[in-house]
Chain A
Amino acid sequence: MRKCRHEPATQPEIQLYRTESRRNGITMNTRGIRSQLKDSVPVAGMCPQGAYGVQDSLRSGFTSVKNELLPSHPLELSEKNFQLNQDKMNFSTLRNIQGLHAPLKLQMEYRAARQIQRLPFLQSSHLALDTLRGSDEAIGFEDILSDPAQSETMGEPHMMVEYKLGLL
Chain B
Amino acid sequence: MALSNVLQTPAAGFNFDNAARNTALEGLFDGGETPKPLKTGTTIAGVVFKDGVVLGADTRATSSEVVADKMCAKIHYISPNIYCCGAGTAADTEKTTELLSSNLTIFSLNSGRNPRVVMAVNILQDMLYRYHGQIGANLILGGVDCTGNHLYTVGPYGSVNKVPYLSMGSGDLAALAILEDGFKPNLELETAKELVRASIHAGIMSDLGSGNNIDICVITREGVDYIRPYQESEFKDNRKMKYKYRPGSTPVLTEKVVPLKLEVVLETVQQMDTA
User: Contact: B99 with A139, CB < 8 Å?
Assistant: yes
User: How many pairs, one residue from A and one from B, have CB atoms within 8 Å of each other in the complex?
Assistant: 103
The interface residues of chain A lying within 8 Å CB-to-CB of B11 are 80, 142, 146, 148
Give the contacting residue for B10; candidates A71, A139, A146, A157; CB below 8 A: A146
Give the contacting residue for B20; candidates A71, A121, A151; CB below 8 A: A71
Interface flag for A70 (CB, 8 Å) = yes
Interface residues of A in 97-155 (CB under 8 A from B): 120-121, 137-148, 151, 153-155
Interface flag for A159 (CB, 8 Å) = yes
The interface residues of chain B, by DSSP majority, are classed as loop
Q: B132's closest neighbor in chain A, by CB?
A: A75
User: Contact: B8 with A79, CB < 8 Å?
Assistant: no
Complex alpha-carbon distance, A84 and B2, angstroms: 30
Give the contacting residue for A76; candidates B2, B16, B127, B130; CB below 8 A: B16
Interface bin, chain B: 20 to 34
A75-B16 contact, Cβ under 8 Å, with A137-B110, A154-B1, A156-B2 = yes
Interface flag for B222 (CB, 8 Å) = no
Give the contacting residue for A153; candidates B10, B14, B16; CB below 8 A: B10
The interface residues of chain B lying within 8 Å CB-to-CB of A142 are 11-13
Interface flag for B241 (CB, 8 Å) = no
Interface string of B15-40 (1 = CB under 8 A from A): 11101100100000000000000000
Interface flag for A52 (CB, 8 Å) = no
Interface flag for B262 (CB, 8 Å) = no
A72-B20 contact, Cβ under 8 Å, with A82-B130, A141-B99, A157-B2 = yes
User: Contact: B19 with A78, CB < 8 Å?
Assistant: no
Complex alpha-carbon distance, A14 and B17, angstroms: 27
Interface string of B61-85 (1 = CB under 8 A from A): 0000000000000000000000000
List residues of chain A with CB under 8 Å of any chain B CB. Answer: 43-45, 49, 59-60, 70-76, 78-80, 82, 120-121, 137-148, 151, 153-157, 159-160, 163, 168
List residues of chain B with CB under 8 Å of any chain A CB. Answer: 1-17, 19-20, 23, 95, 99, 102-103, 106-107, 110, 127, 130-132, 134
CB-defined A-B contacts under 8 Å, sample of 7: A60-B5, A138-B103, A138-B106, A139-B99, A146-B15, A155-B7, A159-B4
